Amino acid sequence: MADNSKNQVSMLDLFRTEVVEQGKILSAALLALEQNSAATDQLEALMRAAHSIKGAARMVGVEPVVQLAHSMEDIFVSAQNSEIALNADYVDILLQGFDKIASFAHLSDDEIAAWQANHATELDALLKLLSRVKSQEEIKRPAAKTRKSKTVTKTKKAEVVLPPKVSIAEEAVNEDKDRVLRVTAERWNHLMGLAGEVKVEAGWLHPYVISLTQLKRRQIELAEILDSLRGSLDDTHASKTAINILLLAQKKISECRMVLAQQTSDLDSYDRRINSLSEKLHRETIKTRMRPFSDGIQGFQRMVRDIAKTLDKKVKLDIHGLAVQVDRDVLEKMEAPLNHLLRNALDHGVDMPAQRIQAGKPEQATIRLTAAHSDGKLSIMVEDDGRGIDVEYLRKKIVDKKLVTTAMATNLSEQELLNFLFLPGFSTKEEITDLSGRGVGLDVVLDTVQKMRGAIETTTRLGQGTRFHMQLPLAMSVISCLLAEISGEPYAFPLARIIRVVKFPCRDINVLEDHQFTQIDGENIGLVGAAQVLGLGAQMVTGEVLSVVIIGDRNNRFGIVVDKVLGQRELAVQALDTRLGKIQDVSAAALLEDGSPILILDVDDLTMSVEALVRKGSITKVTTSAGEDAERVFKHILVVDDSMTVREVERNLLENAGYHVDVAVDGMDGWNAIRAFKEYDLIVADVDMPRMDGIELVRLIKSDRDYNSVPVIIVSYKEREEDRRRGMEAGADYYLTKGSFHDNTLLEAVVDLIGTAQT
């Protein structure tokens, strides 16, 4: 019995899915048929959709849906056979039938079972209406209801019942669709994380390819030495035994060279393939978040149609860019703003049919919704060909509401006046209706757009129409960023919020009233160090060129001085733990290709932080090092430890003393870094590490003629005498315990071995 119950629940879920999916076709085709009654090609799709819903409803015993779908199917078959014609009034009734069917997708199992008993009269009335469509009886449309009210308390709303929200993709009526696999957001985020880990792990292979290449070069050198040795033995008439041993050694080295060459080639090829594959996996995983713009505007055609009818207006919604790919989070957040803008266009923008004819316009107004990719952003425009905005009337309303003085209003530009439309509580309507007059709507649009790190611009022409143009990020999960180094660490600036990035000589810094600035394109830009804004101390710039990221708005711009610009990256955004709250000047985090974390800066926060420093008069100057200071060489130290905490403690301790420090996560990583990347002045290593321990690392360093002069300090938790003796015998110059972090022992040992940080 339990199994039957579970099966019934599963069948009802399938029925709901069928109603939603077939509802897409029903609604889109009915709206297309209403716009063009000659579009008889829609009837086949309508008949099949109604038939599928009827079959699904019969399987689970939902009799009301069976009756409604059957009646609608009969109508579509008759229309296909040219026995009846479907006009706008008949489409109205068919849409009512669809709405009722669609509502069953939102009912619980118990509500579905009890629906017919509680709504028998409603069902009978709807079936009679459908019967009148089948028999082509005249349908009288109800008179339009009064919508106006002079006071809030006496407002009478128009009796408009909008359809339940159903997932509709208007552009896909007659097209084959790809199969859809539903995955929870939590599961997807987990997959996204795994794809990122694969990409990071794939990057570990490249250092080994470099190591093998260097080993192959060493073998070539060894072979050359053996060749020289053989020549020397021939000259000295060495014994036959010695020459045979040498020949055997040459043969073995030749075999090793062949094996190593093949292995190096194979590993290099595998490295390229695995990196390419991991990059594709990561990129495709990110793409799974992308959805067509059409998924975010489901139901807008129906909403515009129904509201236009209540307003006695004739309006066509023209949508472009249905296939434009947008991040799902952007689509979800944009639904409410677009809803407000369309309603605003219907009520405020579109004029009445008689007024349009008198103005020489088509009787039917057009609202155009357009989505496109532009300059790395998502561009969305909502424009109408209605009455436009009377800017002078708007100026008067602003003064009447005492938002500005008359003198100030006179000097406001058109764009500044239009910005008042987005203020909470501001409306140009004299009376309040169910659609407008309360000043709610456009402020919601602006708030949402700003939270998404976007911008909105309004343009209008009196008598010709109004356009709202939104520029938004293509994705909330992946953003283009400029990477910059600040106090030795990388940080990310979202590209969409950067005005400009410039480099100029330090000599171009000017000082006025103890504040630094520079002139860029004739505009004075104040300079402030990124390190000071982020609370990392004073900004110190080495060299003769300054790297500056310009942020702000049209009225107030600042130049944020960074150590250096590292380039542009596409970063997968990782939300910070909500328990941390809002971190000042930081919006999110991400991982770089090597797996290291990076903070994504909040440019709005940065702007406010700079303004706060300006108000307090506490901005410090950016100091530059040139001449004698610029010629100083800083010594490099490599810290090798598998503990992230220990690595960071040692790195901070040494960097605070002025040394330049690199880190490695284990002995193998350290050995690869030593050979492939830098000539270090000192190595600081742990003992117990995976893949290669510290003792083996020290032996390798001291046995290599290129690196045996580099001093090595072992820092270990092991304090026994035999452990110390083992480290010193391997070649370490100092053996310290990790308790030396808390005093000057480590720094004293460093200074003793290589001197102070600068030479």
pLDDT digits (tens, 9 = 90+) for 254-268: 888 888 888 888 888
Average pLDDT, the chain: 79
pLDDT reading at 176 higher than 50: no
End residue of a domain, out of 270, 288, 306:
288
User: Within this chain, do residues 604 and 707 fall inside the same structural domain, yes or no?
Assistant: no
pLDDT reading at 9 higher than 60: no
Our count of domains for the chain comes to 5
Give the pLDDT confidence score for residue 428 in this predicted structure.
65
The confidence band for 92, taking pLDDT boundaries of 50, 70 and 90, is confident
The confidence band for 381, taking pLDDT boundaries of 50, 70 and 90, is very high
What does the alpha-carbon distance between residue 35 and residue 645 come to, in Å, rounded to a whole number?
68
Residue 270, domain member (yes or no): yes
The confidence band for 560, taking pLDDT boundaries of 50, 70 and 90, is very high
pLDDT reading at 632 higher than 70: no
User: Within this chain, do residues 76 and 126 fall inside the same structural domain, yes or no?
Assistant: yes
End residue of a domain, out of 117, 134, 151:
134
Residue 549, domain member (yes or no): yes
Give the pLDDT confidence score for residue 368 in this predicted structure.
94
The residues facing 327 across adjacent strands are 290
User: Within this chain, do residues 619 and 669 fall inside the same structural domain, yes or no?
Assistant: no
User: Within this chain, do residues 7 and 125 fall inside the same structural domain, yes or no?
Assistant: yes
User: Within this chain, do residues 494 and 569 fall inside the same structural domain, yes or no?
Assistant: yes
Domain of residue 310: give its range: 292-389+440-473
Closest CA to 248 of 271, 226, 231: 226
* Lookup: tokens for 571: 């970063």
Instruction: Give the pLDDT mean for 475-492.
Output: 83
The confidence band for 468, taking pLDDT boundaries of 50, 70 and 90, is very high
Burial class from Cβ neighbours inside 10 Å (0-12, 13-18, 19+) for residue 279 reads middle
Residue 420, domain member (yes or no): no
* Phi-psi region at 361: left, alpha or beta (left = phi > 0; alpha = psi -120 to 50): beta
User: Within this chain, do residues 624 and 496 fall inside the same structural domain, yes or no?
Assistant: yes
What does the alpha-carbon distance between residue 362 and residue 485 come to, in Å, rounded to a whole number?
58
Residue 410, domain member (yes or no): no
User: Within this chain, do residues 583 and 673 fall inside the same structural domain, yes or no?
Assistant: no
User: Within this chain, do residues 466 and 605 fall inside the same structural domain, yes or no?
Assistant: no
Q: Cβ neighbours of residue 698 under 8 Å, at least 6 residues apart?
A: 685, 712, 714, 727, 730, 731, 732
User: Within this chain, do residues 15 and 103 fall inside the same structural domain, yes or no?
Assistant: yes
pTM above threshold 0.75: no
HSE-CB for 438 with a 13 A CA cutoff: 10
CATH number of the domain at 23, please.
Answer: 1.20.120.160
User: Within this chain, do residues 263 and 297 fall inside the same structural domain, yes or no?
Assistant: no
Residue 399, domain member (yes or no): no
Residue 435, domain member (yes or no): no
Residue 554, domain member (yes or no): yes
Q: Cβ distance 225 to 283 under 8 Å?
A: no
User: Within this chain, do residues 488 and 637 fall inside the same structural domain, yes or no?
Assistant: no
End residue of a domain, out of 288, 313, 348:
288
Q: Helix/strand/coil (H, E, C) string of 651-680?
A: HHHHHHCCCEEEEECCHHHHHHHHHHCCCC
What does the alpha-carbon distance between residue 541 and residue 538 come to, in Å, rounded to a whole number?
10
CATH number of the domain at 619, please.
Answer: 2.40.50.180
pLDDT reading at 132 higher than 70: yes
* Lookup: tokens for 686: 């742990």
Burial class from Cβ neighbours inside 10 Å (0-12, 13-18, 19+) for residue 159 reads exposed
User: Within this chain, do residues 698 and 685 fall inside the same structural domain, yes or no?
Assistant: yes
What does the alpha-carbon distance between residue 668 and residue 309 come to, in Å, rounded to a whole number?
74
CATH number of the domain at 647, please.
Answer: 3.40.50.2300
Comparing 6-20, 92-106, 745-759, which segment has the lowest mean pLDDT?
A: 6-20
